[in-house]
Structure 1
Amino acid sequence: MTPDKQAFPSVWTRPRKERREQPVLSRGQIVKAALELLDAEGLEALSMRKLGARLNAGATSMYSHVANKDELIELVVDEVFGEIEIPGEGESVEWRAAVRRCARSLRAAFLRHPWVASVLGEAGLAYLGPNMMRFSDAMLGVFEDAGFSLEQADQAVTTVGAYTMGVAITEAAWLTTVNRSGQSEQEWMERLLPAAEEAARDAYPRLQRLYAAQRERAAKGGALDDSFDDGLASVLDGLEARLKAGGA
C-alpha cells in the first residue's frame, strides 16, 4: 500500500518497509529518545531535526521508521500507555479494585509525562497502538467480568477514562505552573489558598468555606490524591448502581 492510498495516515496503518540491511537506529531507540526529550523540555522542543541531533543520526535513519512528527507522537503516546498497570489475564480481582488500580496508574503516567495532555487530540490513531489496545482490552474485560455487556463495558471504560484523564490533565497543568514558580507544591498552596479565601470573603461565602477546607487538607498533604480517589469512587458508585439496576 503506497502512502497516497493509505486508508488512514497513521504509523499503525502504514506497512513497515522491508529492509535488506539492519538500520542504524531501531524504532525503540527513536521512541525512547523522543520520550526523554519531551519529559525534559516539553512538546515545543520536539522536532525531527532536534531528535536526530540527540541521536546523532541522519534523517534517513529516522525516516525509515517514522514518516513525520505526527507518527512519532503516536508512537510516544503508546509508549506512555505501556507504563500503565493493568490486571493480568485470569487474575481474580474485585472489579472496583481493578478499575481503581488502573485509573491510578493512568493518572500517575500522565503526571509523569504532563505533555501527553496537550497531544491527545493530535495523536491520530494512537488508540490502534499495541499498548493502548492492551489497556483498553483489559479494561473491557474487567467490566465484562463484573457483569456489564460489551457495549456497556465500553461506556464504562470511556467514563472512567474521561474522569481520570480530565483530572490528570488539570493536575499536570497545575504542577507545570508550580514547577515554573521554583516553589514546592506545598509552598505554592500555602500562598494561593489564603489569597483565594480573601478574594472570596463576604461576596462568595461557599467558596470561602471551600478554600478554607482545602487549605486544611493541603496542610496534611496528599490532598490531590484524596480528591482524585473521592471523585473516582463517585464514578464507580454510579456504574455499580446502574449494573445492579440492570441498566448499565
Structure 2
Amino acid sequence: MTKQFDSVWLREPRQPKASGLRLDHIIGAAVELLDAEGLESLSMRKIGAKLDAGATSLYWYVANKDELLEWVLDEFWGMVEVPESDDAPWREVLTTFAYNFQAALRAHTWGAALIGQLPSMGPNALQLTDRLRRAYVRAGFRGVDIYLASGTVMSYVLGVVIPEIAWTKTYGDLNVDRDKIIEMMETTAADYPEMIADYRAVTPTNPAAARAMAFDFGLLCLLDGLEHRLPGGSGEHPGE
C-alpha cells in the first residue's frame, strides 16, 4: 500500500503559548541531540527533558516526530551557504555549494539519512533550490536540464559522503592506516601485483589529503561535464 503524502509544510505553524516554549527552541534542541546521539536515539521525551518541558507540550507545535524531523531537515538546508549575488560565476556557486554541503553532512551526519526520506519543501530548502536554479539558468541550462544538473551535483556529494559516514559509524575514524591497507592487499590481492604497486606509488600518505584530492577531482570532472553540455560547448545542448 502506498503511503499517503503528507507534510508539516501543508499546515500553518501554531502560535507560541504563554509558557515561553517556541518552535525554534524545539528545533534547536533536536539538532543538538541529533549531533550528540544520532537519529536513532532522538525522542520527543529527550527533547522535552532538554528544554525542561513535558513531551506533551511539544505536540502543540509538532504533531509527531516526523513533522519535527521535517523542520530539522530544513534547518540543515539553512546551514548550506552559497554566494547570494547573481553576479557570481555559476561554477563558483556550485563549487561553494558542493563544499559547504559536504561540510554540513560531515558535521551533521543525520542529514544524509533524512534527505530523500522526508520532503525538502521548507523555506530554507526552497531558498537554496532557487539560488542554485538561478545559477544554472545563468550558465545556460534550460527546462528540466536545470534540475537534472542540480540533482547530479547533489548526488555526487551524497555519494562521496555517505560511505564516509557509514565507515565512521562502524570504525570511528576515517584516518585509516595506509600501511595496514597495503598489508591487507598483499594478503588478499596477491594476484594483482600491479594494482598493489599502483596503490603504493600514487596514493597520498595522508588520508585526509587523499579524500580532499578525490573530492576535488570528481567535482572538477562533474562540472567540466556539465559545462560540456552547455550551448557553445562541444557536447549536445541542454534539452536536446
Q: Is the 8 A contact 2:168 2:174 kept in 1?
A: yes
Letter in 2 for 1:16: P
For 1:25 and 1:41, the matched residues in 2 are separated by: 23
- Spell out structure 1 runs of 4+ moving beyond 6 A: none
Residue 120 of structure 1 and its aligned partner are, at CA, apart by 2.3
**Structure 1 residue 163 and structure 2 residue 153: aligned?**
no
Residue 209 of structure 1 and its aligned partner are, at CA, apart by 3.9
Q: Structure 2: which 5+ residue stretches go unaligned? A: none
Residue 211 of structure 1 and its aligned partner are, at CA, apart by 3.5
Q: Is the 8 A contact 1:197 1:207 kept in 2?
A: no
Structure 2 equivalent of residue 3 of structure 1: none
Select 2:216's aligned residue among 222, 226, 229. 229
Q: Is the 8 A contact 2:137 2:146 kept in 1?
A: yes
Q: Structure 1: which 5+ residue stretches go unaligned? A: 1-6
| CA offsets 1:122-156 (integer angstroms, 9 cap, x no match) | 22x2x211111111111111110011114211111
Matches for 1:79-94 after TM superposition, within 5 Å: 79-90=75-86, 92-94=87-89
Summarize the Cα distance change of 1:219–1:60 in structure 2 as closer, same or farther, 3 Å threshold. closer
Q: Is the 8 A contact 2:229 2:236 kept in 1?
A: yes
Structure 2 equivalent of residue 247 of structure 1: 237
| CA offsets 1:29-53 (integer angstroms, 9 cap, x no match) | 1111111101111112101112111
Q: Is the 8 A contact 1:39 1:115 kept in 2?
A: yes
Letter in 1 for 2:228: A
Structure 1 equivalent of residue 191 of structure 2: 203
Summarize the Cα distance change of 1:191–1:208 in structure 2 as closer, same or farther, 3 Å threshold. closer
Q: Tell me how many residue pairs correspond in the alignment.
A: 232
Residue 221 of structure 1 and its aligned partner are, at CA, apart by 4.3
Select 2:200's aligned residue among 196, 200, 212. 212
Structure 1 equivalent of residue 43 of structure 2: 47
Summarize the Cα distance change of 1:203–1:71 in structure 2 as closer, same or farther, 3 Å threshold. same
**Structure 1 residue 129 and structure 2 residue 98: aligned?**
no
Structure 1 equivalent of residue 135 of structure 2: 142
Letter in 2 for 1:217: P
For 2:116 and 2:49, the matched residues in 1 are separated by: 27
Q: Is the 8 A contact 1:193 1:212 kept in 2?
A: no
For 2:207 and 2:37, the matched residues in 1 are separated by: 32
Select 1:174's aligned residue among 152, 167, 172. 167
Greater fraction helix: 1
CA RMSD of aligned residues (A): 2.2
Letter in 2 for 1:147: G
Structure 1 equivalent of residue 10 of structure 2: 13
Give TM-score scaled by structure 2 length. Answer: 0.87
Matches for 1:89-108 after TM superposition, within 5 Å: 89-90=85-86, 92-108=87-103
Percent identity (aligned): 39
Residue 191 of structure 1 and its aligned partner are, at CA, apart by 5.4
